[in-house]
Amino acid sequence: MSETENQGAISIAPYRYALAVEYNGSAYRGWQKQSDDDVPSLQSEVERALSRVANHPVQVVCAGRTDAGVHATWQIIHFDSCVERDLRAWVLGTNTYLPDDISIQWARSVTHEFHARFSARARRYRYLIYSSPVKPALLSRGVTWTHKSFDLESMQRAAESLVGEHDFTSYRAVGCQAKSPVRTIQSLEVTQRGRLIMIDVRANAFLHHMVRNIAGVLMKIGSGEASIGWAREVLEARDRRMGGVTAPPFGLYFVDVDYPDLFDLPVSPLGPYFLSGAD
Q: What is the DSSP string of 27-85?
A: GSS-SSPPSSTTS--HHHHHHHHHHHHHTS---EEESS---TT-EEEEEEEEEEESS--
The catalytic residue among 37, 38, 67, 261 is: 67
pLDDT (tens digit, 9 = 90+) per residue, 157-199?
999 999 999 999 999 999 899 999 999 999 999 999 999 999 9
Phi/psi for 22 (5° steps) reads: -110, 140
CA–CA dist 199, 188 (Å, integer): 7
144 and 248 Cβ atoms separated by less than 8 Å = yes
CA–CA dist 252, 32 (Å, integer): 17
pLDDT band at 54 (very low <50, low <70, confident <90, very high): very high
131, 145, 159: which is closest to 217 by C-alpha?
159
Please check the confidence at residue 7 and state whether its pLDDT lies above 60: no
- Radius of gyration for the chain, computed over Cα atoms and rounded to the nearest angstrom: 19
Please spell the DSSP secondary structure of 153-186, one letter per residue.
HHHHHHHHTT-EEEE-GGGS-TT---S--EEEEE
pLDDT at res. 245:
87
pLDDT band at 4 (very low <50, low <70, confident <90, very high): very low
CA–CA dist 89, 87 (Å, integer): 5
CA–CA dist 82, 10 (Å, integer): 9
219, 227, 226, 243: which is closest to 168 by C-alpha?
243
Please give the helix or strand (H or E) that residue 96 lies within, else none.
helix 94-96
Percent of the chain whose predicted confidence (pLDDT) is above 90 = 87
| Domain definitions of the chain by residue range | 3-119, 123-254
CA–CA dist 214, 64 (Å, integer): 18
pLDDT (tens digit, 9 = 90+) per residue, 71-107?
999 999 999 999 999 999 999 999 999 999 999 999 9
pLDDT at res. 12:
72
pLDDT band at 243 (very low <50, low <70, confident <90, very high): confident
pLDDT at res. 35:
80
Please check the confidence at residue 269 and state whether its pLDDT lies above 80: yes
CA–CA dist 32, 48 (Å, integer): 13
State yes or no: is 239 an active-site residue. Answer: no
Q: Is the pTM of this model over 0.85?
A: yes
pLDDT at res. 11:
53
Query: Which residues have C-beta within 8 Å of that of residue 244, sequence separation ≥ 6?
Result: 213, 216, 217, 220, 226, 234
Domain covering 123-254 in this structure, CATH number = 3.30.70.660
1.10.3720.10, 3.40.50.9100, 3.30.70.580, 3.40.190.10: CATH of 3-119: 3.30.70.580
| Mean pLDDT score across all residues of the chain | 93
106 and 5 Cβ atoms separated by less than 8 Å = no
Please check the confidence at residue 134 and state whether its pLDDT lies above 90: yes
Please check the confidence at residue 8 and state whether its pLDDT lies above 50: no
Please check the confidence at residue 222 and state whether its pLDDT lies above 70: yes
